[in-house]
Structure 1
Amino acid sequence: MQKEASTEPGADRIEKIDPRFLTTLRDHVHKALRAAILSGRFAPDERVNERQLAEQLGVSTTPIKEALRQLETEGLVETLPRRGVLIRFNAGWAEEMILARAALESMIAHLAAKRIEKAEAGKLEDTVALMRKATEDGAADDLISLNETFHEQIHIASRCQYLSRMIERQQFYDASIRRVIHSDPLERGKALAEHAAIAAAIISNDSDKAERVMRDHVVRSGETYLNIVFNKKEDI
């Protein structure tokens, strides 16, 4: 007999874990829950139920408990006596993450402009060209992938190790949020112009401009994120 789909409220907020990932289940559960929280699928101060999460993800409660402990060390959830696990991520927290990411990404861009090699500059130009085509076609999924490639290429060109590790904790857009952002033609145009300006500054070894335009890009896209997730329209 086929198992009926869960009718629990919000049961469709998190996708079930692909069985291929069972060898690293804890990490994938942590990643799935973190993405759901950072995408605003849980409200600030909402109480989460371990058994419901396990059912929604199609796993046992053991990796759920482990993932929640890890999320608690990151400050995204908090376990309180007699109240259970509460979501602590909110608009203020997101704002701080955006500003932290802006500071890190802008410094990485600054160093990339000083250290980029000719072959890397060519790859960055190619990526911007592909972004332009995807923008014209309205190909949101392609833009999501190309955006990741673009920033990764800058990280590689920067030769940063410490900063690149720090930036990992500031990655909070998941594919669903990026898809919403890139569904807007106006937003796609703004993002393309910003990415092209960043690439041009880095390729021309203008480190101060690369730092400035990268920071402006991250802050502006962060404001778009805040508007989507928290309906927060004020500038950061």
Structure 2
Amino acid sequence: MQDHGAARLERLDPKLSLTLRDHVHKALRMAILSGRFAPQEKLNERQLAEELGVSTTPLKEALRQLETEGLISTLPRRGIVVLYSRTWAEEMILARAALESMIAHLAARRIDKAGGAALHATIASMAEASAAGDAGRLIELNGVFHEQIHIASQCLYLARLIERQRFYDEGTRRIIHSDPDERARALAEHKLIAETIAAGQVEAAERAMRDHVVRSGEHYLGLVFTDRARAAAAD
């Protein structure tokens, strides 16, 4: 997906000074997850600050956050480099599939009628957003849907483990939900997940969730890494 002729970062509004670090952090993280920076690419702080239209102070703070998330690293004699790669992303997808499928398993065992009704209501809203092509609303509802499943599961330990996946989930959803075909596939998969959980079908719910996370993850890998490789080969 990398386009060497286009700006990789959007300039930020200086008026957002109270939350500027967060905006810089989010913009950089999304750029990395979108494949706009190649694995092992060295990041130039001054150049990044200029592209974003900010000073280096919020940039440095944002870079520290990205390092704690494992997306970048400061290496001796090399400076700041991007760690995020196809292998890294594949591991994240498999980790999320394992955790989310277990949470769906427990949700199917523990959900009550109110929880099932809430899932079906969210699916109805997702169908409306999908028909309207409202990717932003779909991303929001996707988060609500998975949160409802987490609540129904009554998980404590697994919920803590999956917390570190949230930044990755948001970033990948923004990429894949721009595709109308993907929105349709995801909606069908979410419907199946909701139906199996609400019906208490433990094994089916676990399988439906795992299949959904893996398939959508593979679609994301193809968009980000295959397209980027093609673009690089064409240069």
TM-score where L is the length of structure 1:
0.83
- Pair 67,121 (structure 1): closer, same or farther in 2 beyond 3 Å: same
Matched residues in 2 for 1:33 and 1:10: separation?
18
Partner of residue 158, structure 2: 163
Deviations 1:102-147 (CA, angstroms, capped at 9, x unpaired): 1111111112112223222111101111222333333333322221
Counterpart position of 1:49: 44
Conserved in 1, the CA contact under 8 Å of 2:14 and 2:53? no
User: Which residue in 2 is equivalent to 1:88?
Assistant: 83
Q: 1:144 aligns with which of 130, 139, 147?
A: 139
Do residues 105 (structure 1) and 104 (structure 2) align? no
- 2:150, 2:5 → 1: CA distance? 37
Q: 1:117 aligns with which of 90, 109, 112?
A: 112
Distance in structure 2 (CA, Å) of the matches to 1:162 and 1:32: 30
Q: In 2, are the aligned partners of 1:39 and 1:173 still within 8 Å (CA)?
A: no
- Determine the structure 1 residue equivalent to 2:72: 77
2:230 matched residue in structure 1? none
Secondary structure in structure 2 of the residue aligned to 1:141: helix
Q: Distance in 2 between matches of 1:202 and 1:103?
A: 16
1:35 and 1:173 in contact (8 A); partners too: no
More off after superposition, 45-54 vs 25-34? 25-34
Higher helix fraction: Structure 1 or Structure 2? 2
Residues 184-223 of structure 1: pairs in structure 2 closer than 5 A: 184-223=179-218
Is the 1:11–1:56 Cα contact (8 Å) retained in structure 2? no
Q: Relative contact order, CA 8 A, sep 6+: which one is greater?
A: 2
CA distance in 1, matches of 2:65, 2:129: 37
Q: Give deviations 1:66-95, integer Å, cap 9, x for gaps.
A: 322332233221222332211111100000
Supply the distance in 2 between the matched residues of 1:201 and 1:190 (Cα, whole angstroms): 17
| d(CA) in 1 for partners of 2:77, 2:85 | 22
Q: Deviations over 1:31-65 (max 9, x none)?
A: 33222211211111111111122223333212222
SS in 1 for 2:164: helix
Q: TM-score, normalised by structure 2?
A: 0.83
The answer as to whether partners of 2:24 and 2:62 remain within 8 angstroms in 1 is: yes
Shift of residue 202, structure 1, vs aligned partner = 0.9
Conserved 8 A contact 1:25-1:63: yes
Unaligned stretches of 5+ in structure 2? 228-235
Letter in 2 for 1:206: Q
Q: Identical aligned pairs, as a percentage? A: 65
Superposition RMSD in Å: 2.4
Number of equivalent positions: 223
Tell me the distance in 2 between the aligned counterparts of 1:83 and 1:180.
30
| Residues 47 and 212 of structure 1, relative CA distance in 2, 3 Å threshold | same
Rounded to whole Å, the distance in 2 between the matches of 1:191 and 1:57 is 33
